[in-house]
Amino acid sequence: MNGTIPRDEPCYTIGVVARMVDLHPQTLRNYEQIGLVVPHRTAGNIRLYSQRDVDRLLKINRLTQDLGVNLAGVEIILRMTEQIEALQSTIDALQDELDRQRAPDR
């Protein structure tokens, strides 16, 4: 490994994440309650957030604070973004397969 933490590795506590994204810990708990973010839970029931979670919270913060989107709108935007990313991955995989099929035998 090159010393960087994988984006999905749960490693930040709620207090650390609250400071990173400039939100109150209770706001993070509320976001969890409504399903906007789902931190990992340790055996001791401590919330641990990954870098991917932090990025998602920053996006939520931008949508709500900078663009004035309400939480219902945020949920829809996040879901649609995930669907678009999944579709793009499928398109990329199909394009790779098509390119392989079109390539001349070597």
Question: Which CATH number do you get for residue 32?
Answer: 1.10.1660.10
Residue 22 lies in a domain: yes
Mean of pLDDT values over 58-83: 96
Q: What is the pLDDT of residues 82-102, one digit of tens each?
A: 999 999 999 999 999 999 999
Confidence of residue 41 (pLDDT cuts 50, 70, 90): very high
Tokens of 68: 């004035």
Specify the pTM.
0.82
- Does 7 reside within a domain? no
Strand-strand pairing, 12-13 and 47-49: antiparallel
Task: Answer yes or no: is 65 within a domain.
Answer: yes
Residue 66 lies in a domain: yes
What are the tokens at 13?
């506590």
Residue 77: is it exposed, middle or buried by C-beta count within 10 angstroms (0-12/13-18/19+)?
middle
Give the span between the Cα atoms of 9 and 5, in whole angstroms.
7
Expressed as residue numbers, the domain containing 17 is 12-102
How many domains is the chain built from?
1
pLDDT of residue 71: 96
- DSSP-derived letter for residue 66 is I
